Chains A and B, each alone.
Chain A
Amino acid sequence: MIILGLFGVVFLGYLAWLTWAAIAYPIPLSYNLRSLWQRKVATVSTAGAIALVVGIFVVVLSLAQGLSKAFVSSGRADQAIVMRSNAQFELNSSIDRGQVRILKVHPLVAKDATGPLVSAEVVVIKIFQKSDGADTNVTVRGLEPTGIRMRSQVKLTQGRWFRPGLSEVVVPRKMQLRFTGMELSRILKMGGRDWEVVGVFDGGGSSFDSEIWSDVVDIQQAYKRESFSSVLARLDTPERFKAFKASVDEDKRLKLDAVSEKAYFTELTKSGDPIRILGNLITLILTVGAIFAAMNTMYASVSGRTKEIGTLRAIGFRRREILASFQWESILLCGLGGIVGAFLALFANGIQTGTTSFQTFSDVSFAFTITPVLMLEGVAFSLVMGLVGGFFPAWRASRIPLAEAMKG
């Protein structure tokens, strides 16, 4: 820990000195830019390798970002999900009708013109075929009409909402892009029944873009369920959640747990961890390769410019000015690749994809989301690669004995 801390201090100190050197030191950056231009082939191939790594880095980050956005945008702070005690997710929860009735008349629950804003819901998993032919689990949610109104980010884009008792479903528009047979009027086989697709909705990038919705009673009947998976309850204000949770905990008739809908979905973002870990591992391996590519290019550059270095030193430039100059050249080289890579990653922006959540064991649709912040992170990452990859060649350039450098 102490060693890491010391390393951090040295690194930050070096970075600060380098920044200062760019402003105060006399060797102009144009010298480095033109030197890079003069070695076009080496510059383009190294910058290309850096661009590739940065592109992958940004895309990996955008995967995690897209997944996180899908879950985080699903939950509201003023809504609570009530599940069986110790059930972490809706799939392993069970609530009976009596408990639902108690929750519907809870004094802290908000009401609108139609009554209390509470939706008793059932969640089941059904296998569907994706467009690429692979089978995957899909969450099917049975909910009450109130449940639709409580999810304001969900908008109907085609057809109409399902009607109770008619075995009708509505599907997300984004799911239509990734699965076969989800078009309007198509029949889906679920729970031994035929279900007609009567509407298409847009979940606004939330995790509801990965769910098929139908009437809660129809789903219960088809899957022979007496109980519900969860109850979604709206509170007047987010601040009331604490009191609501305490009241649910204390009510001996319920034996249920209330969690904030926002916290529930935030927990679900952990389903992106395997992707993140794998992506980071791939990026790490590629990064090591890219750093060596940058190092190799810079070593070749130093070796080919020994006489130049000697001339600069003879004129009066000091070792540290040579070090800063070559270090900046490496940073410029990698930064150039980083900018290209960050823009290349833009091609992935908005592309719809999905993964299996290890919490819900079902498919989660989400889009690659390349934000300006992610692109800047990618460029910053390339600058760090330039800093690390260029340090040793720059150090070598600054340490060549002057008389030796003059010989070339």
Chain B
Amino acid sequence: MNGTLNGSMNGDAIIKLRNIAKSYWRETLEIPVLQGIDFDIPKGGYYALMGPSGSGKTTLLNLIAGIDRPTGGSLEVCGYELNDLDDDELAAWRNAHVGFIFQNYNLIPVLTAFENVELPLLLTPMSRRERRERVEEVLALVNLEDRMLNYPRQLSGGQEQRVAIARAIVGDPDLLVADEPTGALDHQNAEEVLNLMARLNTDMGKTILVVTHDPKAAHHARFQIHLDKGVFDKTVEVNR
């Protein structure tokens, strides 16, 4: 994390959204995607962002993960007001605080599983030996220690997603964001990935925010935040 960044955690909330708005412009026409979003997510929470297509779930996830910027409102994540960070600071912040899990895994095809997982660590001051130990540790955690030297094309979809999860947690981030993490997996692999994410939440205390259409995936979360047409609808606690 860039040392010049100045952040502090406010209470237990790791994500604090205040009156968040996001619009896109098509020539002179403003297209609002999100309006007046307010909510907090506590540290260690497991939340699913739900809603119909076009409700703004992925846009909101992108704002929280520092991939996009809001057009209005205040956005404090992991103790940092993201609006105050410039592009470089935001990149450093993402590296230190956020792990990404994508629907299509987004592994770099020319890098091995080991090298893919190592990528976030290349931005840290860790030595080569420290990096190797850490990568081996997280690959063992996702049961892929015997697949370290395989390229993504040599892995199954489930294995690829587990490599992506290993890459997301290798830097020990506070927050994991996932966009339809089981969308490209069969039932069995989807279940494995969801169980793994649940373990990361319960055993390692990671805060997880998942965008999903899949009710089963959403059921693994402890709370569901529902959006509708770009506005906050409701928060539902999941009964197990």
Do A315 and B120 touch across chains, with their CB atoms under 8 A apart? yes
Cβ-defined contact, A314 with B65, below 8 A: yes
Cβ-based interface call for A157 (8 A):
no
Q: How far is the CB of A391 from chain B (nearest CB, A)?
A: 20
Q: Which of B62, B109, B111, B120 contacts A316 (CB 8 A)?
A: B120
A27-52: which have CB < 8 Å to B? 27-28, 31, 34-35, 37-38
Query: Is B110 among interface residues, defined by CB-CB distance under 8 A?
Result: yes
Q: Is the CB of B68 within 8 A of A403?
A: yes
A402-B68, A406-B67 in contact; A312/B119 too (CB < 8 A)? yes
Cβ contact of A35, chosen from B62, B65, B100, B110, cutoff 8 A: B110
| Contact among B88, B92, B123 with A26 in the assembled complex (CB-CB below 8 Å) | B123
Q: Are the C-beta atoms of B122 and A26 separated by less than 8 Å? A: yes
On whether the beta carbons of B111 and A31 are closer than 8 Å, the reply is yes
B174: shortest Cβ distance to chain A, in Å?
14
If over half of A's interface residues share one DSSP class (helix, strand or loop), that class is named, otherwise mixed; here it is helix
Residues B94 and A315 in contact, CB atoms below 8 Å apart: yes
Pairwise interchain contact A316-B110, C-beta atoms closer than 8 A = no
* A319 near B87: Cβ-Cβ < 8 Å: yes
Chain B neighbourhood of A26, CB < 8 A: 122-123
List residues of B whose CB falls within 8 A of some A CB.
Answer: 62, 65, 67-68, 87-88, 91-92, 94-96, 100, 102, 104, 106, 108-111, 115, 119-120, 122-123, 167
Contact A307 B106 (CB under 8 A): yes
**Which residue of chain B is the closest to A316 with respect to CB atoms?**
B95
**CA of A317 to CA of B123 in the docked complex: distance in angstroms?**
7
Q: Which of A287-329 contact B (CB under 8 A)?
A: 307-308, 310-319
In the complex, the answer to whether A317 meets B110 with C-beta atoms within 8 Å is no
Task: Please tell me if the beta carbons of B87 and A403 are within 8 angstroms of each other in the complex.
Answer: no
**Known contacts A312-B119, A403-B62, A406-B62, A38 near B110 by CB under 8 Å:** yes
Among B65, B95, B102, B123, the one with the most A-chain Cβ atoms within 10 Å of its Cβ is B123
Find chain B residues with CB under 8 A from A313 CB. 91
Q: 11 pairs across A/B with beta carbons < 8 Å?
A: A26-B123, A37-B110, A38-B110, A314-B65, A314-B94, A316-B91, A317-B123, A318-B87, A318-B91, A402-B68, A403-B67
Q: How many A-B residue pairs have CB under 8 A?
A: 59
**B167 CB, min distance to chain A CBs, angstroms:** 8
Taking a contact as CB atoms under 8 Å apart, the answer to whether B91 and A311 are in contact is: no
CB neighbours (8 Å) of B62 from chain A are 403, 406
* Residues B68 and A34 in contact, CB atoms below 8 Å apart: no
Interchain CB contact under 8 A, B95 and A315: yes
How far is A402 from B108 in the complex, measured between Cα atoms in Å?
Answer: 16
B179 closest partner in A (C-beta): A406
Q: Closest A residue to B105 by CB, please name it.
A: A311
Query: What interface size band does chain A fall in?
Result: 20 to 34
Least CB distance, A316 to chain B, in whole angstroms:
3
Closest to A408 in B: B104
* Residues of A close to B120: CB separation below 8 A: 315-316
In the complex, how many angstroms separate the beta carbon of A32 from the nearest chain B beta carbon?
9
Chain A hits for B94, CB < 8 A: 314-316
Bound complex: CA A31 to CA B95 (Å):
19
- Chain B residues contacting A406 (CB-CB under 8 Å) are 62, 67, 102
Closest residue on chain A to residue B93 by CB atoms:
A316
Q: Is the CB of B67 within 8 A of A316?
A: no
Which residues does chain A contribute within 8 Å of B109, judged by CB atoms?
Answer: 38, 308
Contact residues in A for B67 (Cβ distance below 8 Å): 314, 402-403, 406
Bitwise interface map of A from 227 to 240 toward B, beta carbon under 8 Å scored 1, else 0: 00000000000000
Residue of A nearest to B167 (CB): A315
Q: How close is A164's CB to chain B, nearest CB, in angstroms?
A: 77
Q: Which of A26, A38, A316 has the most CB of B within 10 A?
A: A316
* A319 and chain B: residue at smallest CB distance: B87
A308 to B111, alpha carbons, bound, how many Å?
A: 11
State in angstroms the CA–CA spacing of A208 and B236 once bound together.
Answer: 98
B91 touches A34 (CB 8 A): no
Complex Cα–Cα for A8 and B210 (A): 51
Q: How many whole Å from B62's CB to the nearest CB in chain A? A: 5
Q: How far is the CA of A311 from the CA of B67 in the complex (A)?
A: 10
Closest A residue by C-beta to B88: A318
Q: A308-B106, A316-B91, A403-B67 are in contact. List 19 more A-B contacts (CB 8 A).
A: A26-B123, A31-B108, A34-B110, A38-B109, A308-B108, A311-B100, A311-B106, A312-B108, A312-B119, A313-B91, A314-B94, A315-B100, A315-B167, A316-B123, A317-B123, A318-B87, A402-B67, A403-B68, A406-B62
- Tell me the complex Cα distance, A38–B110, Å: 7
Q: Which partner residue on chain B sits nearest A405 by CB separation?
A: B67
